[in-house]
Structure 1
Amino acid sequence: MTEIGLPATVRACLFDLDGVLTPTALVHAAAWKETFDSFLRRLQGPEFEPFDATADYDEYVDGRPRADGVRTFLASRGIELPEGDEDDPPDHDTVHGLGNRKNVIVLDKIREDGVEAYPGSVRYLKAVRAAGLRTAVVSSSANCRDVLVSAGIEDLIDVRIDGVVARERGLRGKPKPDTYLEAAGDLGLGPDEAAVFEDALVGMDAGRAGRFGYVVGVDRTGQADELRRHGADTVVTDLDQLLGAKA
């Protein structure tokens, strides 16, 4: 299937959202930084070590469900918070409270600035569908549908497995492969018939653990070697680089 750069056995494409289809990974990273820096400043004073919106985001937060991102980053700093409840107000110093604070910030940024899909991703989505393949988006974000609509690409996606669906169905988040396996299943396919497209290292791990037919790493931040080490079969900086390529 050289016109879209995938093995001939692949019948569906399963795309992460943030950083793969839309540049919202940058929005999320900025929102996490604002959230964590405010919390750490209150906890540790003006000499606190700030959240690194590249290194800390990639290592502890990117691709994970929101509460897992809070737990994982805080654990890296030796901090443990009470879990709280999923509907905790955003000013509560709990795992869910911090996560909800981050979500408020993200939604404000999206409303203020809007969202546009990567042009290369739109071209690739259209080529995939023209080639007769099914499509799904697999994201830990609870705001996935809003982003798809804002970016004008919802009609190019057949199945959506996001943070809302994962919670409803009791699916474990990345790096577990559950959400990707669920997307393939909703399309009526096995994992060997689907390709995973990810920019996050935990997403690479999910693709490898789920034994998917092909895993594409999308390198927007200069981590191509890490993406390969975590299981990418190929790495591109934009999806339209796959057009006309040989898998």
Structure 2
Amino acid sequence: MHPRPPGKPTDVTTLGLPGTIAACLFDMDGVLTETATVHAAAWKETFDAFLRRRDGPGFRPFDAVEDYDRYVDGMPRADGVRSFLASRGIGLPEGGPDDPPGHDTVQGLANAKNTLVLKKIEELGVHAYPGSVRYVRQVRAAGLRTAVVSSSANARAVLDAAGIGDLFDVRIDGLVAAERHLPGKPHPDTFLTAAQELGTPPERAAVFEDALAGMEAGRSGGFGHVVGVDRTGQAEELRRHGADVVVTDLDQLLGDPS
């Protein structure tokens, strides 16, 4: 991260933001980097393996679109496990943080998912959305401060692999949240912490999210503007969960005063 003193913003309406906004808080997976599909695939492989062990060949598989969006997207890993299992009426022991993949505990499934994600990222690499990079660069050129707010414990490695780590003044990720005992999305605490570290009150910060849990965090945190990024055709759901505006790519906001 690259802290800097706040600059004097230019006309931020050219960024599609209200004139009061002085800082931008970006989710990572699905907003900045093309990793949401990797996470969805890893969740599906993890949950399907568990459900197959539990229910046999006739198990009801994890839906990598609907179940992912509704129950796990944007949440810390263990919270995602609990959320999805609750949707199926399944209870598991919590287990411990060192439970290996294959242990049918909350922590075991969370660790299995993380192992798969890291493997897929190593195999496939990490790519940033060009429109998002273009937008973040314009945000910084306008003098606004920037932060990444992600539930991922791998955020630093992902940002560096995508070559965009230097575009953000602050990073609040899964590791920081664990160290500071911050509840994850849909709670607003990680976004509020990022705004605080940027020296910006929530009402002068904009949140950029693709997850329904992130929309709820933006709404409940009292942020000045919440942008929903629709990569999967869930624009109406994003609006219902708190988005002030929905785009399919961030550079659609450039030059848009609405």
Q: Same fold per TM (> 0.5)?
A: yes
* Match in the other structure for 2:127: 116
Distance in 2, matches of 1:70 and 1:91, equals 14
| Letter of the 2:240 counterpart | R
* Match in the other structure for 1:201: 212
How much does 1:246 deviate? 0.6
| Letter of the 1:115 counterpart | V
Distance in 2, matches of 1:97 and 1:188, equals 38
* Match in the other structure for 2:169: 158
Given the alignment of the two structures, is residue 129 of structure 1 paired with residue 140 of structure 2, yes or no? yes
Instruction: List runs of 5+ in structure 2 lacking aligned partners.
Output: 1-11
* Match in the other structure for 1:232: 243
SS at match of 2:13: coil
Given the alignment of the two structures, is residue 76 of structure 1 paired with residue 93 of structure 2, yes or no? no
| Letter of the 1:110 counterpart | I
How much does 1:2 deviate? 2.1
SS at match of 2:42: helix
| Letter of the 1:165 counterpart | V
Distance in 2, matches of 1:191 and 1:87, equals 36
* Match in the other structure for 2:179: 168
Distance in 2, matches of 1:34 and 1:178, equals 30
How much does 1:151 deviate? 0.5
Say how many residue pairs are matched.
247
* Match in the other structure for 2:67: 56
* Match in the other structure for 2:196: 185
Distance in 2, matches of 1:239 and 1:52, equals 27
One of 204, 217, 227 as aligned partner of 1:216: 227
Distance in 1, matches of 2:204 and 2:196, equals 11
How much does 1:225 deviate? 0.7
Given the alignment of the two structures, is residue 9 of structure 1 paired with residue 20 of structure 2, yes or no? yes
How much does 1:136 deviate? 0.4
Distance in 1, matches of 2:37 and 2:23, equals 27
* Match in the other structure for 2:3: none
Instruction: List runs of 5+ in structure 1 lacking aligned partners.
Output: none
Given the alignment of the two structures, is residue 95 of structure 1 paired with residue 106 of structure 2, yes or no? yes
How much does 1:112 deviate? 0.7
| Letter of the 2:98 counterpart | D
How much does 1:86 deviate? 1.3
How much does 1:181 deviate? 0.1
| Letter of the 2:17 counterpart | L
Q: Show CA shifts across 1:69-98 (max 9, x none).
A: 000101111110000111211221110010
Given the alignment of the two structures, is residue 39 of structure 1 paired with residue 75 of structure 2, yes or no? no
| Letter of the 1:174 counterpart | K
| Letter of the 1:64 counterpart | M
SS at match of 2:147: strand
SS at match of 1:122: helix
**TM-score with structure 1 length normalisation?**
0.99
Distance in 2, matches of 1:122 and 1:144, equals 16
SS at match of 1:41: helix
- C-alpha RMSD over aligned residues: 0.6
| Letter of the 1:89 counterpart | P
How much does 1:220 deviate? 0.5
SS at match of 2:15: coil
Distance in 2, matches of 1:73 and 1:116, equals 28
